[in-house]
Copies of this chain bind each other. A is one copy, B any other.
């Protein structure tokens, strides 16, 4: 299996988004230069990226089939299958994630929520049953869950991750704003809002400085 850098992988959902928009607006064919121009990538880059995931090389003058490209990208990204997942931590952020409509189109299916709060345990929130942490292992095994989404406060994140790993899930999608250690055989991806905000702040300040240059 070819290994992709994060940077490379992050472009694929963006291609997919754009192609779905094209499809919805009735376009049947698209060219690499057209994709490159719209997304701000080089043509070379677009051709390379798409060659990695699709045998659809397109017809001269017409371009590539939008429908075929969408299909190939969905398969590559694992959106065609269904990935059973659980969500740990049903506070505000957790509840937003429990029923985030876009997850469905990404093949992510949250089977159950988990929380330590006795007020929440046993309830059904956003159509999903909330279990106590003691049931984590059983639910992961029974529902063949691979992915655990962590949306607990920072102070509990590592402890919860240890529980998840020993319960047998193989992938952790971490929304707690902290670094976590995972044992071998478990992969982790952090959704780091702090980093994202840092990037935005930096761009904003650079833009403001360039529009009002300081006179030294």
Contacts and interface: CB of A to CB of B under 8 A. Distances in A.
Contact of A78 (B93, B146, B201): B201
Contact of A199 (B6, B153, B192, B196): B6
A18 B7 CA distance: 24
| A contact residues, range | 35 or more
Interface of A: 1, 3-4, 6-7, 9-10, 12-14, 16-18, 21, 39, 77-78, 83, 92-93, 95-96, 99-103, 106, 108, 126, 146-147, 153-154, 170-171, 173, 177-179, 185, 187-189, 191-211
Contacts of A200: 147, 171, 173, 187-189
Contact of A194 (B6, B7, B13): B13
A16 B83 CA distance: 34
Given A177-B102, A200-B171, A185 B206 contact: no
